[in-house]
Amino acid sequence: MDQKIGDLLGAILPADRIKTGLIDLVASASDAGFYYLRPQAVVLPVSEAEVISLLAFSKQHHIPIVFRTAGTSLSGQSITDGILVDLSQHWNKITIENSGEQVRVKPGAIGANVNTYLKKYQRKIGPDPASINAAMMGGIISNNASGMCCGVTKNSYHTVKYITFILPNGKRYNTELPADYERFEKESAPIYDQLKTLRDSILNDQAVYDKIRQKYQTKNTVGYSVNAFIDFKEPMDVLAHLLIGAEGTLGFIAEAVLETVPDYPEKLTGMLYFTDIYSACQAIRPLTNAGAAAVELMDRASMQSIENMESMPAVIKTLPENAAALLVEFQGNTQDELKTQMDAFLAITNELSLLQEAEFTSVASEQASFWKVRKGMFPAVGAVRASGTSVILEDVAFPVDSLGDAITDLQILFKEHGYTRAIIFGHAKDGNIHFVVTQAFDTPAEIERYQLFLQDVVDLVVKKYNGALKAEHGTGRNMAPFVETE
């Protein structure tokens, strides 16, 4: 490029919304994952017209553009060596509709702020990533993020009602407007036709159809949300749902309307300690059947990572070496609803290999302290890693009934590959676990160790258990090489 990129971008945006200084580029080179790519420029568009111009610029100059909202992604999907489009400052409008039954959001609205607006209606958005205090709607939708209570049915894929998007060809469509369906068919005919052809080929192949149906019964953010092909008939609806979880690779999400879910006022939260992680996994199904809204798993090593932090339950330090915990929360509209769930829980306690009697609390500060245990794990490991190593957080899902066996196999892999300080925690109710390892990449031997380990993990998750290599964090650069395998 003969002319400087900043000067060229000056034809689209005012100078104060184009950043090309080294300090800005370095500051934007990382998201929350461990990859590093320095962009050539960071731009802050304020309108759809500017985004359309940026898409045309990208095409004309062969420079990729990547959108970023909060940049809390963990798989390397919100970094680029092209142009980084920062939406975090100017796209934060939130509009409550139908008395809180639905909410209209721009991509830069912070998830927790949307929930604050919805609070008085006792509603919230379905997706509930642990990062919700920072994560923004563009990223939450584009990663198809989920979390503690969201499961497979309340994520963005299932709760986005309408979506307004702009394609790389500069065309803007809104699924709320019936006329846009016809316009999409005419104006973007090649895309319309290919979506239709793909859909027909899937519907005509029972094995592929069944495979897709089965794959999306578990949380799954590997590759595109191809379940859209079997869930929707209209090509524009298929595309709108492929955009959810597409990590910005198919187009720009300008606005979305989400159907909200109840935010139950009554909660009972408890930490259940088990003799070992296998026994904890055996408790997931009975707890879910008793009505638990959240069942979060923590192995002993993960609890060790936070036991010295302020306000952690004292009992954690005293647990035996192989112990594991489940953070369990029951939720309801009324005390009576909670009592019914608690009765169901008490009826199954004999089946559980508990280390001590389960105690539940309705005191908000105590509940917050339990959640602090669970949410502090990933940052805690990052804080104590050896200098020069990266913290790698994987995000896999297994069928719930196989979770105990799968974790046992995973622990064998940790040993075989020398990951002595690996930790496991996660959303057990959905068979979704995160494991964290620290890894150096400064020698060929260390790189090879990680490669061999990851290949074994891929075989375990995909081939042995038919699970998902990414359940909620998105494919990113991290799992891109393995999408085809899955």
Which residues make up the interface to ligand FAD (CB under 6 A)? 31-32, 66-74, 77-78, 87, 107, 129-131, 135-136, 138-140, 142-143, 145-147, 247-248, 252-253, 378, 472-473
Tell me whether strands 41-43 and 83-86 are parallel, antiparallel or unpaired: parallel
Nearer Cβ to ligand FAD (247/329): 247
Which of 445, 448, 450 is closest to 392 using CA atoms? 450
Nearer Cβ to ligand FAD (96/112): 112
Q: At its nearest, how many Å lie between ligand FAD and the CB of residue 110?
A: 8
Rounded to the nearest angstrom, the gap between the alpha carbon of residue 7 and the centroid of all alpha carbons in its chain is: 36
Q: At its nearest, how many Å lie between ligand FAD and the CB of residue 160?
A: 12
Q: At its nearest, how many Å lie between ligand FAD and the CB of residue 427?
A: 7
Q: Which residue has the tokens 């996994």?
A: 281
Which of 215, 223, 218, 219 is closest to 75 using CA atoms? 223
Nearer Cβ to ligand FAD (107/270): 107
Nearer Cβ to ligand FAD (32/44): 32
Instruction: Give the CA angle between residues 340, 345, 351 to the nearest 5°.
Output: 155
Q: At its nearest, how many Å lie between ligand FAD and the CB of residue 446?
A: 24
| CA–CA distance, 109 with 69 (Å, rounded to integer) | 9
Nearer Cβ to ligand FAD (258/342): 258
Q: How far is CA 473 from CA 112, 131, 135, 351, 393, in A?
A: 18, 11, 12, 33, 10
Amino acid at 59: K
Nearer Cβ to ligand FAD (226/323): 226
Q: At its nearest, how many Å lie between ligand FAD and the CB of residue 221?
A: 8
Residue 336 has which token pair?
Answer: 């009576």
Collapsing DSSP to helix, strand or coil, 110 comes out as: strand
Instruction: Give the CA angle between residues 316, 306, 446 to the nearest 5°.
Output: 125
Could you please report the per-residue DSSP string of 415-449?
HHTT-TT-EEEEEGGGTEEEEEEEEE-SSHHHHHH
Nearer Cβ to ligand FAD (139/223): 139
Q: At its nearest, how many Å lie between ligand FAD and the CB of residue 339?
A: 29
Contact 254, 164 (CB under 8 A): yes
Contact 166, 251 (CB under 8 A): yes
Nearer Cβ to ligand FAD (12/79): 79
Collapsing DSSP to helix, strand or coil, 79 comes out as: coil
Instruction: Dump strand ranges (E) for 73-198.
Output: 83-86, 94-97, 102-105, 123-124, 160-166, 172-174
Q: At its nearest, how many Å lie between ligand FAD and the CB of residue 201?
A: 27
Residues 6+ apart with CB under 8 A from 485: 458, 462
Q: At its nearest, how many Å lie between ligand FAD and the CB of residue 135?
A: 3
Q: At its nearest, how many Å lie between ligand FAD and the CB of residue 273?
A: 23
User: What are the φ and ψ backbone dihedral angles of 442, each rounded to 5 degrees?
Assistant: -95, -5
Nearer Cβ to ligand FAD (171/211): 171
Nearer Cβ to ligand FAD (54/226): 54
Q: At its nearest, how many Å lie between ligand FAD and the CB of residue 462?
A: 20
Q: 122-138: string of b/e by CB count within 10 Å (b at 16+)?
A: ebbbbbbbbbbebbbbb
In this chain, which residue has its C-beta nearest to ligand FAD? 139
